Amino acid sequence: MLKITFLGTAGSLPTPYRNPSSILIKKDSELLMFDCGEGAQQQMMRARTGMMSLSSIFITHFHADHVLGIAGLLQTMSFQGRNETLYIYGPEKIDVFIQILTALGYCQLGYEIKTVELKPGDIVEKNGYYIKALKTEHGVESIGYSLVENKRPGKFDRDKAVSLGVPPGPLFSKLQQGNPVEVDGRTVHPEEVVGEPRPGRTVVYSGDTRPCEDVFNASLEADVLIHDGSLDDSKSEWAVESMHSTASEAAELAKKAGVIKLVLTHISSRYTEDESPLLNEANEIFENVVIADDLMEIKIQYKK
């Protein structure tokens, strides 16, 4: 299971239809949150994602529209009886920032929070995958993130194994786990019946940024790139000044990186009535692109 739920897709100014930035990724039984704008906890309730399996929150930067939902979410989970440690990752001073947030409203939590400061290139090792911090280009110190699964074992050739005299059962499992087996005095090696390792899945989240090298490199052949697509080309000068990206710039990066799917988010309130300028400009460059909506879900399948 690898599923993305978009809790908030607005730009700096929320709208009646878009909450501030927040993305939830379900990796098997674990929930990971990337940014936590206002109302994230209610969006989790609306999406029926649950909260208690949330293991980590990854913050890209400290602009208010990306962090003001944290205090409410922490307290809600405490009210619900959470007792497991929650990890909160982010740029420099994440520890100070969380101390300030948890001091609001006499917030007494029934569980421990551990903050971890990340800089570009740092890696958070998880079970079967990792999260890497990426250098991004915004008006304040900021980082993006890539979620990268480990390679999967190659495809097991059952017919070949049987033809080599290996009986179905426990010996199949041993071969699939990379161990040789003995059959009738002959050793059958895993490489005889197991193909080349297969790629895992990769999801990249840019946060607020100009198109940049680190996000591009992380996005090479990625399954999903979630990129700042705040503005259309008529606002390109403002995109540069405010350190955001246009939809076409995000599409150009996705095309060059060979990603499978591009999702544009952080949509400016200018497009509340009509998002077509963003989608049309991106589609001229890259075909498989969508604009994220609040509560939209994407399930990511393996390439092969």
Residues carrying an active site annotation: 65
Angle between the N-to-C axes of helices 70-79 and 40-47, in degrees from 0 to 180, rounded to the nearest 10: 60
* One-letter amino acid for residue 89 of the chain: Y
- Of the candidates 4, 6, 15, the residue with the CA atom closest to the CA atom of residue 293: 6
Residue 33 CA to residue 18 CA, distance in Å, equals: 17
Q: Give 278's DSSP letter.
A: H
Q: Which helix (H) or strand (E) holds 100?
A: helix 94-102
- Of the candidates 31, 21, 25, the residue with the CA atom closest to the CA atom of residue 69: 21
DSSP 216-276: HHHTTT-SEEEEE--B-GGGHHHHHHHT--BHHHHHHHHHHHT-SEEEEESB-GGGSS--H
Rama region for 81: left / alpha / beta (φ>0; ψ in -120 to 50; rest): left
Per the CB < 8 A criterion, the answer to whether 275 and 246 are in contact is no
Residue identified by tokens 């890209």 is: 60
- Of the candidates 214, 292, 227, the residue with the CA atom closest to the CA atom of residue 254: 227
